[in-house]
Structure 1
């Protein structure tokens, strides 16, 4: 890829998280984000951990083998992210890899989901990713670096009772595709990672969610498997090393891409059949925020938002 001529290349153009490279990960306190910083730190990369849970972030950072920096940051706050980017730059120099991983989910019927909570999922997952890119693109342009957007198979077909999450993941896929065309002339590559069932606390209540439970039950055995965050981090790290435009976790998802046009109809059919088995009262129940990380974010947000409901544990 030709250089734009506006900046100097600091090192050979590669996303490989080798020793000395600077890797920034949002949502690094737990789950896939935590597993990824552990993986790249073990390869010698210097890591910048961004997230909402300061104590958890520092505990993760303290256990990493390579130098790291923790910054408690809300990805929906552009000014805070800009400050975090400057702090990372001052501490380690410009970022080589930035992974927009921060995300939360909420389950429940759209009509019964608090409007602030619905909007919060969109803000963290979609707007937060755009904010992350805006804060770090100047550094990635300097290093001719790599931006990895974490998406989901939720972008393949939207499940009822998960409207905000599915909309946000379809949105981040579209955002990353558009961004890719804009920044390629500057030598920056943009990848999209599609994650399937991953064993984070976000899906700990999977069996309580009627539509997701039904969708998983109707998948073939190999597609029902829940993969550990460590395994997903292996796939992501390999994708970073290749500066891949698409990273599939698990890899067999690449063969599913041509079938995407039929997925919305299949998901709708399964959802309709499953939802008929539940009473109105069951479907009106609010599943609420999914996972400890999501609850921590919502609790922090709600504390500064009068009238917002408390998260359910």
Structure 2
């Protein structure tokens, strides 16, 4: 067990405890810190507190970091669509319908299960259930993901995401005919107060979210677009396109029920680019649209 002690200074006073701790070490996520506080391995002046505790100057914080849990994700042999792999990073094309990482009650059949069988060396920064996972895409979104095979690569890729230098371009089919050729949606996204499983545009608890889009083709009642992420909030493209009145086709959470015959939202992470953590070389990869997505475009073409 590692024990870390610190004293709150003037700059940190009046800040939430979980926020202060998550800024001390770049490897500590806010979610991880909040779990430590909940498990009472974080003490303030010898006492357990809640994550929203407001720090006071000269507060003495003691963190007893628990030993890492043994990795209990079951490796599963899968036919993964690997686009690139070296000693540091791996780029994989995730199919629609596959969950990225295990969660309680859903411990098998995920991309991480397949990655565990494919390679034994994955970064451990994100914990037991998300080894190597730097960013995610939704279950019913297909496309490219970068995976870190060691902690050095993980930190580099996360920093690139934070600094908005990663290229992430998606193709999508949306309801309605967008009249302008391109645009930018700059609207904060946070948890929906009325539905904790959904995200929404909100000033109340929202975080900065920016999506750029270009129209690729217009149909009678739909538009084929390319979206580029500047930030990476949960469900960002799905929430932003709904916000401007053009929800994604097939989206079971944010779209209309009457839609195209596609299983899940018509969204594909087709282009991914980043600076290699070790060599400093910019690498970019492109995955073609999956067959069901292409079928929808052909269907719309025929209807038009």
TM-score band, normalised by the shorter chain? under 0.3
Which structure is larger by alpha-carbon Rg, 1 or 2? Answer: 2
Higher share in helix: 1
Richer in strand (by share):
2
Name the TM-score, length of structure 1 as normaliser: 0.27
